[in-house]
Structure formats: C-alpha cells, structure tokens
A = this chain, B = another copy of it.
C-alpha cells in the first residue's frame, strides 16, 4: 500500500504566480502566464535561441540555510542569461519550474524571487510562466531562457580559425568563494560585440577556462597557444590558493569553472578595434587577449621563460572543498 500526494500550492500563493505578478505586463506576451501555456510574440526576422539549466540544492550550492535563497534565485536565471550571452543572443522570455522543499518552502520561494526579479528587469527578460511544485526534499529549480538573434548570426563554438586571437572577459578562478552565485552575466557585452564586430566562435566558461576552451577548439578543429602570464587570474583564485587549496592561482583560473565569462575567437585586427572601443563602452569589463588559435589540436600554455606546457582539459567531476570562507550570499 503506497500513498502519494500531488502537492499544489494554491495558484495565488505559488512561486511562479508571485514571480509573474511582480513584473509589469510585457508587450512580448500575447497570452500572459496563467493559461495552459504562455503565448509569445517572437521578434520578426530573428531566430529563437533556447537554453535550460537546472540547479539542485547540495549539488550546485550548499544546502539551505548555508546558502541564501536569494542568491539561488539569482543564479538560476543568471546561468541561463550567460548561455544566451555566449550565443550573442538578446534575452526575450524565460519560464521557471521549481520543486520547493515543503519545509520553509514559501520563505525560500519568496527569497528566491528577491534574487531573480531584479535580474529579470535588468536584462529585460519577460517571465512567461512556469510550474510550481513542492516536495519533502531538497530544492530543484530549472530555468528555460529564450533569446533571439539575427539568422546566421548566433555565436557558435565551431567557427574559430587558425590565426584568430582568443579574447576573454573578466578574470578566472576561485568562483567557489562566492562569485559562482553572484556573477553578472555578460549579456550587454555580448550584444554590443555582436552588433559591431565579427566574432568567429564563443563559449561561456561554466566548466572551467581550460575545459570550455578545449570544447571550443575541438568543435572548431583547431588548437590554442596561450601565454600563461596573460591569463587574467581573479583575486579569489589567489585567496583560495593562499588558504591552502593545494593548487596554484593559475591552476584555479584554468580549472575551477563557474566564472561565466566569455571566451571568444576573432580576427586580431577586429580584436584590437573591439578592445579600444570597449574601454569606453564598458570601462568596468576587463578584456584580455590570452593567446591565438592554431591549426594544431590541443592547448599549450607558454611560460614567460619560453617553456611550453600541454594543458589538459579540466573541470569534469571536479570536487570543490571549502574551508569555511565560502561566501554564500550575494549581499
């Protein structure tokens, strides 16, 4: 004899209902959320870009209450916006499915909204609907984000050509200290870039600079030659190493992941022009040329003394260990 329940929060109080009622009406929605499905007016003459990311409590972030639910709400949307940025796509709409813990579920949901809503407004993404569930278990949240690009203009992984330079935004490593929850997706930078400059290939560094670069190079049938001393190492990577992580700051920069920075391949002259203009457009977004695309597969990193190191793609099944100094909120 087995008993199970379909748990419905009343629609009026549900996470998704609150999420939607907190946002102003959006011209992109022909039929707003609340029906069996939402109906969206897609922008004319553009392609639809679709991505989904699921976050699980205890896997993608420390279990509550160690992590601030606000940061989880933020991250759940931000990781998807980062994927749209990595395609050069403009954010359009998102839907949110959530399995809330029965215990404190309403509070957790409300706090998640506090993290998600400002980000939705900031990047002008309409929340078109979702699915609110609850269960006696850990939180799971799955956001599907939809963007748009001009036909043929989406940034793919497989377009890098030998002679391209490899350009990255921001700095890498040590995101586990808190940045993995609080990063700003590079949507605006991506949109400014795609409007003016030809980008051959792009990816976001979700699983680690070395692994994601490896993926882009493999897809393009190319390799990369990096200058080790040009890798922008985040201050968090240095702190993490000093705390006795057992790795060097450079190793953290290559392997940690969840930096959610853009990795781009483009013509050297275009890159030079882009970097010059970006100083004025986005003075707070560092850009670094870290190396060049080669015809030879594999990734090598050249040390200042001229020694070369073959880089192994890292990031798979990587175990993060905190030593108590984790930042687990975005405040």
- List residues 34-69 of chain A with CB under 8 A from any CB of chain B: 34-42, 47-54, 56, 58-60, 62, 66
Are the C-beta atoms of A48 and B59 separated by less than 8 Å? no
Q: Select which of B1, B4, B84 is within 8 A of A37 by beta carbon.
A: B84
**Assembled-state Cα–Cα distance A138/B101 (Å):** 13
Stretch of A91-99, A164-172, A278-286 with 4 or more beta carbons under 8 angstroms from chain B: A91-99
A201-233 contacts to B, CB under 8 A, are: 202-204, 207, 219
In the assembled complex, which residues on chain B have CB atoms less than 8 Å from the CB atom of A99?
Answer: 54, 56, 59, 140
By a CB distance below 8 angstroms, the chain B residues around A151 are 30, 41
A144 to B5, CA, bound (A): 23
A200 at the interface (CB under 8 A from B): no
Within 8 A of B (CB), among A296-317: 315-317
- Interface membership of chain A positions 175-214, coded 1 if the CB is closer than 8 angstroms to chain B and 0 otherwise: 0000000000000000000000000001110010000000
Contacts of A137 in B (CB 8 A): 56, 58, 137-138
Number of copies: 2
At the interface with chain B, which of A6-14, A17-25, A104-112? A6-14
Would you give the shortest CB distance from A229 to chain B, in whole angstroms? 28
Distance of A6 Cα from B7 Cα, bound (Å): 29
**Pick the contact of A95 from B38, B52, B315 — CB < 8 Å?**
B52
Question: Distance in Å from the Cβ of A94 to the closest Cβ of chain B?
Answer: 9
The answer to whether B49 touches A86 (Cβ under 8 A) is no
**28 contacts across the A-B interface (CB closer than 8 A):** A1-B324, A3-B319, A4-B62, A4-B320, A5-B59, A6-B60, A6-B257, A7-B59, A31-B156, A34-B219, A35-B154, A37-B145, A39-B48, A39-B87, A39-B149, A40-B50, A41-B151, A42-B48, A50-B146, A52-B97, A53-B131, A54-B99, A54-B133, A54-B142, A56-B137, A58-B135, A137-B137, A137-B138
